[in-house]
Each structure stands twice: as structure tokens, then as C-alpha cells.
Amino acid sequence: MYQRPQHLLSRFGKKSQVLFIEEPIRLPNHSNVEDGARLEIVRQKDSSVRVVTMYISGDLSFEEETNIVSQRIQELLNEQQIGDYIAWFYSPMFLRYTKGLKPYLSIYDCMDELAAFNFAPPEIKIMERLLLDQVDIVFTGGKTLYELKKHSHPEVYYFPSSIDKHHFAKARQNNISVPVDQEHIPHPRLGYHGVIDERIDLPLLAAIAEQRPNWHFIMIGPTAKISPSDLPRRANIYYLGQKQYAELPQYLAGWDIAFMPFALNASTRYISPTKTPEYLSGGKPVLSTAINDVVDPYGNLGLVEIISSPDEFIRAAERILSGQWDKNKWLKETDDFLSHLSWDITFGTMLHVINQSLESKKSKTLKNGLYV
């Protein structure tokens, strides 16, 4: 997956050191892990981002795991000679591994309402409240999520999903290479790329595929938190598995319509799908269920067709496939909207907020005679 964390932190990595510390991976009890934990550090290409993967012994108790991981993180900072630093959180659950750390500034980039997802740890709401009490800044990944969080902290900022326009615009090129596993699939093709989990309306997908057996539905992405046996199996539904980020425009180029068959449930109430502007950058018409952050702004502006049933989906898709719409007008309006979106703009604005907070903190410490 190459999404918000990768887009943002790779840009920070061009300006400063970034240690991306993943949640620890438990190994079988019999695994030989010296002192309970083993670290692997991999530097990312073209930046100073280093991904830190920690493997821990599977027989550690909760308290032992917390202490060992916290100790290893502190040792890592000392070894790398990192003094003043910013702590950037993507998950409230990681807070327990940061005891003893003293960041100069702390940020929580809240991408989703994680407590609403299937199999979320029961203590995640408590951990998020503790995290919100400690951080200096909160970023949110969507408007609906911002409305939920804006009163939970004095410094909450709305930064919606952005777009790597140049990358996905490759799907508009006539000479783009055709993926082998998609080449044999007949048209019309309707495609989705992303995680296939409890957020996908599988009954909706099955119903449309049954009613239109001559349409072909391409599902790209890993399956998570649901059983493969739960997936609807039809001759015109193709599960092509997970692909590299670099390959996505090649698949998108071969679709007639991009679609987002999200279920309307607790896990999708606050999502802001990054794939919305990705599909649009590829020049593909988009059909979506009524996800709040898709309806506003994309649906309200007429850039995405919002549907609520198999019949609505079929009518909208038939109108597009038959050419009964002004594609040139839609493309112009789409490109005008996307011209204001980019990860570079998002990164620059975030950096401005961070620098303001740093200056404010520096000023306060100077006034109190505590600055060294």
C-alpha cells in the first residue's frame, strides 16, 4: 500500500531524518529472539526514511512487551544520535510503547475512526483519549472525521485525501502497457482498487454482477478481516490480488468505469477514500455509494455519480457506457477541481502548521526562561 503515510513521510524524509517504527511483530514462542526483541532497519529509496520493523518473542506478557519495545525505541534514538524530534502517531495503540520518550512536538495524524473497524482493540478509545491529551497537533484525513474530532483537541486541522496526479494521469495515455492478467477480460470493465474488507458492500457487488452478466468487475487489492469464502464468486467478477502502487495506472487505464462499492456502516461513516481523486486523475468516470466525504464535495459537484442501490448503479453505468453524458465537460470540471489538490500542497501546508507550533513552543519556553 502506498497511501497517506508514505506520501507525507517520504516528503519529510527529503528534509530531515524519519524513523518509521512499525508495530511489533510477534514470533512463535520457540523463536530465538535475543533479549526479547530484534530490530530490522531498511532505508527507503531516494529519502532518509528508515522503516524499523521489530520482532518480539511470542511468550512475552503484555507488560514485558510494553517495557521491551519502549526500551528498544529509546535505545534506537540514542544510537541514531537523535536529540530534538517530533513524534508522529498514526495509531493510538502505539502510545504504550512511547513511555519515557520526550519529543519536542507530538502530532496525531488521524486517518480513520479506527474504533469503528472490525476487530478493533476494545481499549482503543481510551488510548486515543490519552493520546489526544498528549499531542500538540491533530490532523484529520477527511471532513467528516474533522467534524467528529474538532472539539476533542484545541489544535485540530482538516487535511483531506490528496492525489499524486502525475502518477495516475498515466492512465490517460494511449501507449500505456497492458497488464497480462487483465488483458483477457472483456469490456465493459468496471474496476476497484483498494483493500477488500468489511467496508465493501459484497451483496451490492453480487447483485450487480448477476443482473449484468456481460459486464466485468475487476477487484484489485488484498483481502483483510473477512474470509475469502465471503467473497461473491461469479464468472464476471475477477479478484486479481494486490498490485504494486506503480502498476495501478496500467490497470486503471483499461477500465471503462471505476467504482467504489462501499457498505454504509460504522466502519465507513468517517472514511475519505484516497482512491476517489486517483480514479478521477486517471480520467475515469466514478460510481460510488453515498460515503459522506465522497458526496461532499465530489457528488455535489457532479464529478462522481452517487448511487444507493443495484438499480441506480446499473442505470448510471448504462448512461456512461452508452455515451449519454458530456465527457469533455466532465473532464474539464474534474481537472479544474484536481488542480487544487496535490500531496506537495498538503505537505507544505502541514509543514507550515508544524513550524508555527514549533515557533509558539519556542517562544513560550523563552519567556519562561527554560529554553536552552
DSSP string, 164-200: -HHHHGGGG-TTPPPPHHHHTSPSSEEEEES-BSTTB
Q: Give ranges for CATH 3.40.50.2000 in the chain.
A: 4-162+344-367, 165-338
- Which of 96, 85, 112 has the alpha carbon at shortest distance from 20? 85
Q: Is the pLDDT of residue 298 over 50?
A: yes
**56-109, pLDDT tens digit by residue?**
988 888 999 999 999 999 999 999 888 889 999 999 999 999 988 999 999 999
> What's the chain's average pLDDT?
93
Q: Is the pLDDT of residue 134 over 90?
A: yes
CA distance 158 to 271: 13
Q: Is the pLDDT of residue 1 over 90?
A: no
Q: Is the pLDDT of residue 368 over 50?
A: no
Give the CA distances from residue 222 to residues 4, 183, 226, in Å, rounded to whole numbers and listed in that order: 18, 20, 11
**Mean pLDDT calculated for residue range 141-158:** 96
- Which of 244, 236, 172 has the alpha carbon at shortest distance from 207? 236
Lowest mean pLDDT among 136-140, 326-330, 361-365: 361-365
Q: Is the pLDDT of residue 46 over 80?
A: no
Q: How many CB atoms lie within 10 A of CB 311?
A: 12
- Homologous superfamily assigned to 4-162+344-367: Glycogen Phosphorylase B; (3.40.50.2000)
Q: Which pLDDT value is given to residue 233?
A: 97
Backbone angles phi, psi at 292, to 5 degrees: -50, -50
The fold of the 165-338 domain, in CATH, is Rossmann fold (3.40.50)
